[in-house]
């Protein structure tokens, strides 16, 4: 009974593995040119060849694990030795991917360098504008101080003029008052009315 169950289980697994339900991507190893056979050994007819690094679809593995059934890019299905397959991309494909990444990084670097140069030029322009504005501000502050000092000087001069004019007026008034005291007085006419 156990043997019958075991045989049914193997038959079931073999049936589903041949339908490609468990298909996975794989690659033919680099530096290799291998032949595809119609069955899982060299006893079967050669149906074509696969170049190194070609992407293939792994459909199933032989019972002893030495052969793998694959489908290539041309939709041909056949068997190759398991040692000639790999789950990782070939060096050729990895190299192409790295070249594309390198080109993209170089392009990004060029773009970033150009943006950096533009930003540096803009910063220099802004610094020059700031220096110019600071110079104008300093000049305006200097002019303001000069005008305030001149205004204070004129204010002092005006106060001094008022003081001098007031002093002269007081002096003239005093002299006039003194002079009035020395003027002869008019005699009163005696009024004889009688």
Using CB atoms within 10 Å of the CB of residue 53, give its burial: 0 to 12 exposed, 13 to 18 middle, 19+ buried. buried
pLDDT at 13: 60
pLDDT (tens digit, 9 = 90+) per residue, 26-39?
Answer: 765 555 678 888 88
In the prediction, which pLDDT does 14 show?
58
The per-residue pLDDT for 193 is: 61
- State how far the Cα of 126 lies from the Cα of 181, in Å rounded to an integer: 81
Which pLDDT tens digit goes with each residue over 92-147?
778 888 999 999 999 999 999 999 999 999 999 999 999 999 999 999 999 999 98
For 13-89, give the CATH class: mainly beta
41 in Cβ contact with 49 (< 8 Å): no
79 with 40: CB under 8 angstroms? yes
């Amino acid at each position: 009974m156990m043997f019958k169950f075991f045989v049914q289980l193997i038959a079931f697994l073999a049936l589903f593995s041949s339908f490609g339900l468990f298909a996975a991507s794989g690659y033919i190893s680099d530096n290799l040119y291998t032949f595809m056979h119609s069955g899982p050994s060299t006893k079967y007819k050669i149906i074509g060849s696969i170049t190194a690094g070609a992407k293939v679809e792994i459909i199933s593995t032989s019972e002893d694990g030495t052969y793998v059934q694959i489908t290539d890019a041309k939709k041909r299905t056949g068997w190759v030795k398991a040692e000639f397959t790999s789950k990782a991309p070939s060096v050729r494909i990895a190299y192409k991917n790295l070249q594309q990444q390198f080109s993209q990084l170089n392009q990004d670097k060029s773009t970033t360098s150009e943006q950096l140069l533009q930003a540096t030029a803009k910063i220099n322009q802004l610094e020059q504008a700031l220096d110019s504005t600071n110079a104008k501000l300093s000049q305006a502050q200097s002019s303001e101080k000069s005008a305030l000092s001149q205004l204070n000087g004129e204010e002092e001069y005006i106060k001094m003029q008022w003081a001098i004019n007031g002093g002269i007026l007081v002096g003239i008034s005093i002299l006039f008052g003194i002079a009035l005291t020395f003027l002869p007085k008019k005699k009163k006419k005696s009024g004889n009315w009688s």
